[in-house]
């Protein structure tokens, strides 16, 4: 049976890394999304604050699942230095050159979020349309707990740990499949676009040996989407 399955004890970390994606993302989907907030916390908040804190709960849940747990596994089980999975700045010269596309990206994002389906989806916390005082802390939590975790897990933990085993192209594809699945239920254009963005961001992370440059591009996309909808499209 062991020969049939071709199980190799020395590859146990690889098996666990691969299975971490469906396992952790399934837990996040069923228990980490905002609608679970009231199941676990009965705080009798106003509808505005309940909407706000339920999404902060979602961001923190994501952070625990795909940042804290993989980080612990990386530090104490795999024991590969964090800089080897993209935590360092890598090729700073190349990374900074890539960030020069930001002025070009901003107008593209502006027009890309004009669709009704995107405006219906974002911002996730609809209270931001009326409670401008909550925008800064919301977006800060969005960046710290959601986007840091996202890039660390997909373009760090998965990508670089699997690169040596399967090669760069296969590792990029694996993390793209995993990151795309989390978009299911989002607007069709976003989900399909996530395939191409996943491939591109994976390539950039490999080339720069760091996930921080795509992190900057990713938060630019996410935060500007919210702000453009709140302050412009939401007022049309």
Domain ranges of the chain: 2-235
How many residues does this entry show for the chain? 236
Structure tokens that stand for 42 in this block: 């009965």
pLDDT greater than 70 at residue 2: no
pLDDT greater than 80 at residue 22: yes
* Band of residue 18 on the pLDDT scale cut at 50, 70, 90: very high
- Does residue 127 contact residue 134 with C-beta atoms inside 8 Å? yes
* Alpha-carbon dihedral sign for residues 81, 87, 93, 97: positive
Q: Which long-range contacts (CB under 8 A, 24 or more apart) does 173-181 make?
A: 173/199, 173/202, 174/18, 175/202, 176/202, 178/21, 178/25, 178/154, 179/150, 179/154, 181/25
pLDDT in tens, 102-143: 999 999 999 999 999 999 999 999 999 999 999 999 999 999
Tally: H helices and E strands in the chain: 14, 0
* Band of residue 145 on the pLDDT scale cut at 50, 70, 90: very high
H-helix or E-strand containing 63?
A: helix 47-63
pLDDT: is 234 or 50 the higher one? 50
Cα 200 from Cα 215, distance rounded (Å): 12
H-helix or E-strand containing 31?
A: none
Query: How many Cα atoms are found within 13 Å in the side-chain-facing hemisphere of 201?
Result: 31
Mean per-residue pLDDT, 76-80: 96
* Band of residue 30 on the pLDDT scale cut at 50, 70, 90: very high
| Distances from the Cα of 229 to the Cα of 97, 116, 138, angstroms | 29, 10, 15
pLDDT greater than 90 at residue 173: yes
pTM as predicted: 0.95
């Amino acid at each position: 049976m062991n020969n049939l399955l071709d199980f190799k004890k020395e590859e146990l970390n690889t098996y666990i890394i691969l299975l971490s994606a469906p396992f952790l993302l399934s837990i996040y989907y069923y228990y980490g999304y905002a609608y679970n907030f009231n199941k676990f916390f009965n705080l009798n908040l106003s509808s505005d604050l309940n909407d706000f804190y339920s999404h902060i709960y979602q961001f923190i849940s994501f952070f625990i699942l795909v940042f804290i747990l993989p980080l612990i596994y990386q530090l104490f089980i795999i024991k590969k230095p964090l800089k080897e999975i993209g935590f360092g700045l890598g090729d700073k010269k190349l990374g900074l050159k890539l960030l020069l596309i930001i002025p070009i990206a901003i107008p593209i994002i502006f027009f890309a979020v004009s669709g009704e389906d995107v405006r219906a989806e974002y911002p996730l916390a609809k209270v931001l349309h009326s409670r401008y005082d909550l925008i800064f802390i919301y977006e800060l939590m969005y960046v710290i707990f959601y986007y840091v975790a996202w890039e660390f897990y997909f373009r760090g933990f998965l990508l670089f740990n699997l690169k040596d085993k399967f090669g760069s192209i296969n590792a990029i594809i694996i993390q793209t499949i995993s990151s795309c699945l989390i978009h299911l239920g989002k607007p069709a254009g976003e989900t399909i676009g996530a395939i191409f963005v996943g491939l591109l961001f994976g390539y950039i992370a490999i080339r720069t040996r760091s996930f921080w440059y795509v992190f900057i591009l990713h938060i630019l996309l996410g935060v500007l989407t919210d702000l453009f909808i709140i302050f412009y499209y939401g007022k049309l």
